[in-house]
Structure 1
Amino acid sequence: MADAVTVDELHPGDHACLTFTDPDERLDLVAEFVADGLHRGQRVICFTDSLSPDELAAELAMREVAAVAAIGSGQLTLYASHDAPAVEGGATAERMVALIAAERHRAARRGVPGLRVAADMCWAGRPMAVDQLLTFERQAASLFTDGRLTAICQYDRETFDAVTLAFAADAHHKTIAALAYHDTPLLRICRQHRPAGCASPGRWTTRTWSRSARRSPRRCGWTTTSTSTSPSCVSSTSPPRRPSCRAPWRCPRRAG
Structure 2
Amino acid sequence: MSKSPSPATDDVLGLESPLEALETSSDFRGPVEPMDGEFCNDHFALIYESPADQFAAVVPFLRQGLERGERCVYVTDEASEAEVRAALRDGGIDVESATESGALVVETFQDTYLRDGAFDVDGMMSFYEDVIQETTEEYEAFRLAAEMSWILEDDVSIEDSMAYESKVNELFDDEDAIAVCQYDRTEFPAEVIRDVVRVHPHLIYDNTVCHNFYYTPPGEFCGPNRPAHELDRMLGTLLDRTEAKTELRDRKRYQQRQNEIISDPCLLYTS
TM-score range, shorter chain: 0.5 to 0.7
Identity %: 25
Alpha-carbon contact 1:82-1:91 (below 8 Å) kept: no
Q: Tell me the distance in 2 between the aligned counterparts of 1:37 and 1:10.
A: 17
Shift of 1:14: 1.0
Task: State the partner residue of 2:44.
Answer: 16
Task: State the partner residue of 2:132.
Answer: 104
Q: Which has the higher helix share?
A: 2
| 2:174 is the alignment partner of 1:146 | yes
| 2:143 is the alignment partner of 1:116 | yes
Structure with the greater alpha carbon radius of gyration: 2
Instruction: Sort the Cα spacing of 1:160 and 1:52 in 2 relative to 1 into closer, same or farther, 3 A.
Output: same
Q: Tell me the distance in 1 between the aligned counterparts of 2:126 and 2:103.
A: 19
Q: Tell me the distance in 2 between the aligned counterparts of 1:45 and 1:16.
A: 15
Q: CA RMSD in A?
A: 2.5
Task: State the partner residue of 1:53.
Answer: 81
Report the count of equivalent residues: 175
Shift of 1:33: 0.5
Alpha-carbon contact 1:15-1:173 (below 8 Å) kept: yes
Alpha-carbon contact 2:71-2:135 (below 8 Å) kept: yes
Equivalent residue for 1:69, pick from 74, 91, 97: 97
Q: Which has the higher strand share?
A: 1
Task: State the partner residue of 1:126.
Answer: 153
Q: Tell me the distance in 2 between the aligned counterparts of 1:57 and 1:88.
A: 26
Alpha-carbon contact 2:43-2:172 (below 8 Å) kept: yes
Aligned amino acid, residue 78 of structure 2:
S
- Output one character per residue of 1:103-156: Cα deviation in whole Å (capped at 9) or x when no partner: 21112223x211111010111122632233123112222221125111111110
Aligned amino acid, residue 125 of structure 1:
L
Task: State the partner residue of 2:216.
Answer: none
Shift of 1:44: 0.7
Structure 2 residue runs without a partner (length 5+): 1-18, 24-31, 35-39, 209-271
Shift of 1:75: 0.5
Q: Tell me the distance in 1 between the aligned counterparts of 2:68 and 2:125.
A: 24
TM-score normalised to structure 1 length: 0.61
Aligned amino acid, residue 124 of structure 1:
I
